[in-house]
Structure 1
Amino acid sequence: MLRVAIVDDEALARRGMQRLLGEYPQLEVVGEAASLKTAMELIRVERPDALFLDIEMHGGSGFDLLQDLQERPDVVFVTAHDRYAVKAYDFAVLDYLLKPIDPKRLAAAVTKLEKAQAARQALLKHQAPTLRLRTSTRTVIQRIDTIVAMRAEGDYTRVFVANGPAILVGQLLGKFEAQVPTPPFLRINRSLIVNVDRIRAIETIDRDTMHISLDDCAEAFVVGRATAARIRKLYPGLPRRVSLTSPGGDGT
């Protein structure tokens, strides 16, 4: 199923496109927008696979919208003007339809959208699993096998990656818990998920406090003794790879 959105400042044009796209059971129209501002919000919330996008609109153009998007869905321009065709393909759009829409040309555009989606899905099958991390300024596609830990910080989550800077993401930790595999990831308390395969050492700080050190991560994570014991209980093989040390001790 392809999730598509319609962006056009003319209500009649939007209704007409809704009717035409309704003939394609493989398409789901997830929303429509009459302005660039509402289009940005629609795309942010619904994350459609494709846009059927007008060019000349009140307050800006379809090109302005595409320039403002950090990640672009596939785009089919739908316009009454043919003079923008060359510029449109500079934006790598999939197709360019002229109003009134020729049903055969629309069918060809839908076929292009389906082929583009199939190509993306085939590529993903051969790639390492990733997480989409959305910060305040950008979206990072991060390979899951490079993530060493995730820590809740209020309404945010700080994602620690191997040999790199941590990434502060505007999402709650619980959202990520369902997106990472268990094992090796384990939510060891309310605020911390760790990659158990990367645990290097559990160090005793005092009677109630321990530090967990992870490979390829400069940060040491503070946990209680009960949490450390829970990790060892859930992963019986872990003690063979984890050294327990105490201040002034010999590591045994």
Structure 2
Amino acid sequence: MTEKLRTIIVEDEELARNLMKNFLSDIESIEIIAECENGFEGVKMINELKPDLVFLDIQMPKITGFEMLELLEHKPQIIFATAYDQYALKAFEYNAADYLLKPYSKDRLVEAVAKVEERMQTEGRESDVAEKVSDFPREGYLDRVVVKDRHKIHIAPVDAIRYIESMDDYVMIYTTEGRWMKQKTMKYFETSLNPNDFVRIHRSYIVKVNEISEIQQYEKESYVVILHDKTKLKVSKTGYKNLKDILNF
């Protein structure tokens, strides 16, 4: 491969970044175009500079490597690098090009780059890791949602979510702090939010149970829920059954 791989390192530890840069400096096919010490910087630089390859730490302050991937518009090849081996299986299920377990050797890093080059020759430069992260079932329930609004990244605690509305390939998340759009499915949130706290009332709505003030009938077998701020949301037949089950009426 004659064309160099434009590469970004996203790693919060300076020592780990310097070691990786040192190892990569001897690999002719690599051109390091940026280094980032957290996921916020990573999202900005990856979307702006559109690298071919990203070395990505998973456990970082602010947002994790997995959460960072959800916010990318550009889809580079990903090599995860982390000290925690419990993420290895998940990394491969997400279709990462490779996974480096710290501390790793220079030979192991060279091998990972060779894997990326081989993959690019057969599959092209874009990767589907970000989509895999979005579609993959979670372990446990969500405790926060990371969203991007123009150039800002917001971390919304699940406790702050009031309801979620379907918008084709996106959802609108209404919180106590504002509303944000995210490229996720309603099915994802239905399975990722604690069913004791959130209920699917309609194909278009998931509502936090504690936000419901009352349920009103407006036609035969047609209902709406009214939230504490007077917002009215339609309830489907299945949604009404879900409400009866969780509210015991």
With structure 2 as the length reference, what TM-score do the two structures score?
0.47
With structure 1 as the length reference, what TM-score do the two structures score?
0.47
